[in-house]
Structure 1
């Protein structure tokens, strides 16, 4: 079995910080309401930066941290639901920006579970033995897809990027187990839908819809399906919740993370949390929290990553990062 390791982990948040009070000037909401319902205090918005710009900054950080030339990267996957364009892939723009001339690159769309799906995909390429190194980046500019009259969605989301470099290892593997799943549901969460052509006319042009989520349905999905998924995943791999050194879930909102902690009967201190300061950054939340934990010097032996989002897509990965940086 081919062993893999994570050799670099980095994140980036745009400079512009948007507080709850600022959003209350755009819609009927307040700092008190947002904090009590979501735990979110602020978020970052990309101003004059697109998704590829954020992803490129993370890619450059990863190369510097791993002390690698861009030409050593074989594969770049960018997980995003807010790409620069439908085509070309945002990952191809990142490849060009960092001059990773030996890599092939493409985007992956699995919403807030995107990093889980992308990391699982990259691991298979490395596991095949045909490729040595993969760069996996989640990048989102959620702000450009928001309807700022919709307080049920707009108050949650922020922008950012984060990722890892995954490579073949001659030692112990960092990638222990995974389970990913999808329930076909196009109504609970959707964004950027393009309507089919109704007639051939000169005034036809593509239009995208803004981000939408049914908050109650999302809550029920997480508290029922996702919690059951986590319990089954851990049991299938002979892991008790108390065996976990670190848990990183999708940073949907603080209340959902608290619910998952309660379901696992774990102290919230075992959970990496950035949603309070960065908002819901969609697929970015998990790799950003991972980068923040590793930057703080944590080297957890058993790490649970769980993502969930539109699709409905969800999944978990179990990692051993005790040898990160060695």
Structure 2
């Protein structure tokens, strides 16, 4: 008996949102205090980053990005969305995420709504894979995925945190994308995801004095970086991102060096350089938005891809490889699409 091939999935279009507050590196320089990690390559600050406004939520930013799709394609563009998935770096309320609010504010009536709290910086590819599986399983005709990075203006500007070297790196922003069944649009050529649960406990949120994140106390929460942890993250990230990208490239029959575009997450410049060198790609085929947006976590890939499309750096027929690792290296993912244009 001949197996029936699974229906193909296409990325129809994507759109992004940058908060209005464009914050220069000097904002953090004025508060900087002695930090034993200040000279670490992980914390060489970008020129700018954007911060969400006071009270601006994940849902606000995702809806703002989605409205750009509606402006581009018309008010009925999302009417046939049956699946809505969201990922927020910092859920504003306990337990639930923002997916229900996003669907309601956009006037959608999906069959399936799902907040995906893991995936980290690789969440864009992770959501593409999950949405594709739901559509193939008969979950609907079109999926909307939304991602928000909202911790820069809320966590890293706190009085006790903004003095640290880590504070100047993150930026805020949001992205959305639509996926459909079939080859129309920009076909998803494949995805590659790998979980490394043994590293999950290496990413921690800390406060001084110590407390659980939900407990009241004088210490403000920040990322628990140490020199030892940074060394581990650098080693893992340097390996994981090109590893999953190369594995997927070979699976779809393309030499890594022949990829038209590589789009990765963007924790810092050292990772960006190492990844393109590992893939044997020139800088022109590995765009980033780091100096304008900083580390956008899960939003980094769609933000950079959207900017590259607008700048004419992606042409019809180009194969775009997206690759990222999450947190301290507990997850890595790559996804490839053949770009034909916004639809």
Query: TM-score, structure 1 length as denominator?
Result: 0.87
Cα offset for 1:107? 1.4
Cα offset for 1:325? 2.8
Gaps in structure 2 of 5+ consecutive residues: 1-5
Cα offset for 1:111? 1.2
Cα offset for 1:152? 3.8
1:44-123 alignment runs, 5 A limit: 44-48=50-54, 49-67=56-74, 68-109=76-117, 110-123=119-132
Aligned partner of 1:225 in structure 2 is 240
1:140 to 149, 152, 165: 149
1:230-267 CA-to-partner distances (Å, cap 9, x unmatched) read 33332333221222111100111122111001111110
Aligned residues of 2:80 and 2:142 also touching (Cα < 8 A): yes
Aligned partner of 2:200 in structure 1 is 186
Cα offset for 1:120? 0.9
Aligned partner of 1:23 in structure 2 is 28
1:166 to 166, 179, 182: 179
Aligned partner of 2:12 in structure 1 is 7
Provide the rounded CA distance (Å) in 2 between the counterparts of 1:208 and 1:65: 41
Aligned residues of 2:245 and 2:322 also touching (Cα < 8 A): no
2:319 to 302, 311, 314: 302
1:200-234 CA-to-partner distances (Å, cap 9, x unmatched) read xxxx7699843334332221111133333333332
Provide the rounded CA distance (Å) in 1 between the counterparts of 2:168 and 2:231: 16
Aligned residues of 1:7 and 1:66 also touching (Cα < 8 A): no
2:230 to 210, 215, 233: 215
Residue 285 in 1 paired to residue 300 in 2?
yes
Aligned partner of 1:258 in structure 2 is 273
Cα offset for 1:182? 1.4
Provide the rounded CA distance (Å) in 1 between the counterparts of 2:183 and 2:173: 33
Q: What secondary structure is seen at the aligned counterpart in 1 of 2:69?
A: helix
Aligned residues of 1:80 and 1:139 also touching (Cα < 8 A): yes
Provide the rounded CA distance (Å) in 2 between the counterparts of 1:117 and 1:313: 10
Aligned residues of 2:112 and 2:139 also touching (Cα < 8 A): no
Aligned residues of 1:55 and 1:138 also touching (Cα < 8 A): yes
Provide the rounded CA distance (Å) in 2 between the counterparts of 1:196 and 1:126: 36
